[in-house]
Amino acid sequence: MPLIHTRLITWVMALVLMIPIAIGLIGTLLPAFQYFPPLGEYQLSLSPWRDLFSHGEFYASLKLTLITGIGAPILSLWLALSLLAWGYQRPFFTKIEALLSPLLAIPHAAIAIGLLFLLSPSGWLVRVFSPWLTGFERPPNWISVQDPYGVSLIIALVIKEMPYLLFVMLTTMKSIKARESLQVGQALGYSRFTLWRKVLIPQLYPIVRLPIFIVVAFSLTVVDLALVIGPNTPSTLAVTLLRWFNNPDLSMRFMASAGAVFLMLCVVSVLAGWELSHKLTSKITRSERSNGKRAGLSDNLLRLGVIVGLLALLNGFVALVLLPIWSLARRWRFPDALPSQWTLSNLERAGPLLLELTTNTLLIAFLSTLLACAISLIMLETKRQDMDKQHQHTKNHLFDWLIYVPILLPQIGFLFGLHVLLIYLELNGDLCAIIALHLMYVLPYVYLTLKGPYLSYEEGYLQQANRIHYRPWRNYLGIKIAMLKPAMFTAFAIGFSVSIAQYLPTLIAGEGRYSTLTTEAVAQAASGDRKQVGSMAMLQAFFPILVFWLAQFIPRRWTRWRLFIKQCVIRSKHFFFKKDTQC
């Protein structure tokens, strides 16, 4: 991209990103120290913190948050690596890869509801085996979902996060030359899992470090998923905070703000701890990795991971299949494995709403993702030019770090602070405000997905083209972007599904004036009507799945279609030209 003033662009972009983040943070920090003019509080004080630390539910929630928030990413990482090591470059694995996108695309709340349908004592799993095997005429009094230990929450998190990690890892395979390493290693007699463990995973980890951090921060701070499938006596810290923020007793807000600040500190320290333990692990295992043994006992860890990972995937899919079944059910009582009466009226009822919700959802998702793609390209180009000039390949931009701040911060505390800014700007309840907030959450994912392919692009093609015919913009689009098509489409699909899944940002910026499929589905999820939820979730899942499918379908056929259209145009020109001469 023939950009000039790259340094200026970098700074302007960084500033534009920084302002809302800073104001959101200040809007949370000040109430945490009792400063909140609308409630007549102008004195800084530590009392919110004293309240917080003397609150029993805070400690219980914190414990649960740490267990689920650290347990889920470790499990997800383990399973994703195991599946990758087991299946990479094997023919059947491409089918699993293709099946990942629906799991990735579907909003968390919908997955959680699906899992409730599947795993609860009256769920499908028990229904299938009842009463012929289990003898249950009525559902057993088990605690298989919303359990106080957070196991079901961890399962839901893993089902949502493992596909994401696997997806990100698959896109980096080329840059670590995985295939070549495997070929060389296998020729040297290393077993497949050992090779991954000793050679590929240590190379892979630094590249996917940020996605892992995102997953950790997400697990520690998620609200909608924890609301649906997490325990509620106590809930995770994020949900407890949300309840405090929404408490009619407005003075609870101070303690909630202090809690939100604490949750941020929590995220930071868990990430620091995570990085430290990675350093430690790689130090401890260094001698083992280079001992030359062709197989090892810890390979079994990966083998076990494959089985658990496949089970988790299967769980996710069955949960997804249950959604449309529920949306078509009229009567479906325990222990029937399938509905006894079917109907279309659940869907008919949702029909008129659908049009409005779909328009809003698609408009927001398309605009925010397109903007995110454009900004990502500009930022990556300035980064590339900087790197070229300084011949430093490790140096990071300022906003390389900045853009991750929104997704690493807990949404609840941060967004309330931001809401006050929107009201000052009279942008509250405005479509632009929703798109801007979505952009904050879409941008990091799009940027992250594009970063690797864009920076590793062989610039020589473009330079050569410009030497032959100097048309910098046209060549940039026609050659570089065209060659990066698969990455562009993937980034778009990911950004799109991220936008569709946003709940709190849509609600807070849109003030409920703009409902999307997600805000509606979560509002319905609370009501517990499985038919409604099933219908909503199905609709909500349809568009991201479609876009993911298109992202895989179009790039391969793009050139063929383009040439075909070009040919048609040429032919028709000839045709008209002949006609003209005849006349």
Return residues touching another protein (CB under 8 A): 36-39, 56-57, 59-60, 121-122, 138-139, 141-143, 146-148, 231-234, 243, 245-250, 329-331, 333-334, 341, 343, 349, 416, 419-420, 423-424, 428-429, 507, 511-513, 515, 520, 522-524, 526-532
Taking each helix axis from N to C end, the angle separating 209-221 and 56-87, rounded to the nearest 10 degrees, works out to 140
Residue 39 CB, shortest distance to another protein, in Å, is 7
- The partner residues of 36 in beta bridges, in order of sequence, read 41
Which residues, in sequence order, are CB contacts of 368 under 8 Å at separation 6+?
435, 438, 439, 442, 495, 499
Q: Looking at 338-484, list the stretches that DSSP marks H as alpha helix, in order from N- to C-terminal side.
A: 345-390, 398-402, 405-408, 411-424, 431-455, 460-468, 472-475, 482-483
* Residue with smaller CB distance to another protein, 341 or 581: 341
**Which is closer to another protein, CB of 189 or CB of 528?**
528
Number of other CB atoms surrounding residue 399 within 10 Å: 23
Reading the block at residue 575, the tokens are: 């045709």
Residue placing its CB nearer to another protein in the complex, 108 or 530: 530
Residue 63, classed as helix, strand or coil, is helix
Nearer to another protein, 6 or 506 (CB): 506
- Cβ 246 to another protein shortest distance, Å: 5
- Between CA 441 and CA 432 the distance in angstroms is 15
329 bridge partner residues: 342
CB 21 to another protein: min, Å? 18
Q: How far apart are CA 19 and CA 470, in angstroms?
A: 39
Token representation of residue 361: 């959802």
Q: How near is the Cβ of 345 to another protein at its closest, in Å?
A: 9
Do residues 145 and 152 make contact, with C-beta atoms less than 8 angstroms apart? yes
Question: Which is nearer to another protein, 68 or 382 (by Cβ)?
Answer: 68
CB of 50: closest distance to another protein in angstroms? 17
Q: How far is the CB of 231 from another protein (least distance, A)?
A: 7
> Least Å distance between CB 494 and another protein?
28
Q: CB 354 → another protein: shortest distance, Å?
A: 13
- Between CA 291 and CA 293 the distance in angstroms is 6
Integer Cα distance of 332 and 345 in angstroms: 15
Which tokens belong to 235? 């809930």
- Chain position carrying tokens 């000052």: 424
- Determine whether 347 is exposed, middle or buried from the number of CB atoms within 10 Å of its CB (0-12, 13-18, 19+): middle
Closer residue to another protein in complex, CB, 386/430: 430
Residue 136 CB-density burial (10 A; 0-12 exposed, 13-18 middle, 19+ buried): middle
Contact 304, 198 (CB under 8 A): no
In the complex, what is the shortest distance from the CB of residue 432 to another protein, in angstroms, rounded to a whole number? 15
- Give the nearest distance from C-beta 416 to another protein in angstroms: 7
The pair phi, psi for residue 172, each rounded to 5°, is -95, -5
| CA–CA distance, 77 with 75 (Å, rounded to integer) | 5
Closer residue to another protein, CB minimum distance, 33 or 88:
33
Q: Least distance in Å: CB of 312 to another protein?
A: 23
3-class DSSP state for residue 27? helix
User: Given the complex with another protein, which of 302 and 422 has the nearer CB atom?
Assistant: 422
Q: Which is nearer to another protein, 373 or 525 (CB)?
A: 525
Residue type, 512: G
- Beta carbon nearer to another protein, 334 or 549: 334
Contact 232, 205 (CB under 8 A): no
Q: What residue type is 387 in one-letter code?
A: M
Q: With respect to another protein, which residue has the nearer C-beta, 50 or 349?
A: 349
Closest approach of another protein to the CB of residue 28, in Å? 13
Q: Which is nearer to another protein, 10 or 516 (CB)?
A: 516
